Amino acid sequence: MPKRRIFDLRVLIGAVFAIYGVALGVAGLLDDPASLAKAGGLPINLWTGLGMLALGVFFLLWARFGRDEGRPEETPDD
């Protein structure tokens, strides 16, 4: 990864969402029945964690494979 991509905000945002998504997903797997009853039986922490993880992975993939908006595309010299 080139040095200029290290400070890409997509990497930072993706990493934060992925880390919090994993933490929230694990918390959702460990919810007790009383917490599930408060949420009407729906494991909100688990589903929110999975959504955050998916968003984080999307941002990281976008940063890795997306076109760099700051520089024009290189064209081969004739």
According to the model, what pLDDT value does residue 67 have? 77
The pair of three-digit structure tokens given for residue 19, joined into one six-digit string: 């880390």
pLDDT of the chain, 78 residues: tens digit per residue:
556 666 789 999 999 999 999 999 999 999 999 999 999 999 999 999 999 999 999 999 999 998 776 665 566 665
Integer Cα distance of 42 and 67 in angstroms? 39
Integer Cα distance of 26 and 12 in angstroms? 21
According to the model, what pLDDT value does residue 74 have? 61
Nearest CA to 53 out of 16, 21, 12 is that of 21
Integer Cα distance of 15 and 38 in angstroms? 30
For residue 22, the SS3 value is helix
According to the model, what pLDDT value does residue 8 have? 86
According to the model, what pLDDT value does residue 77 have? 67
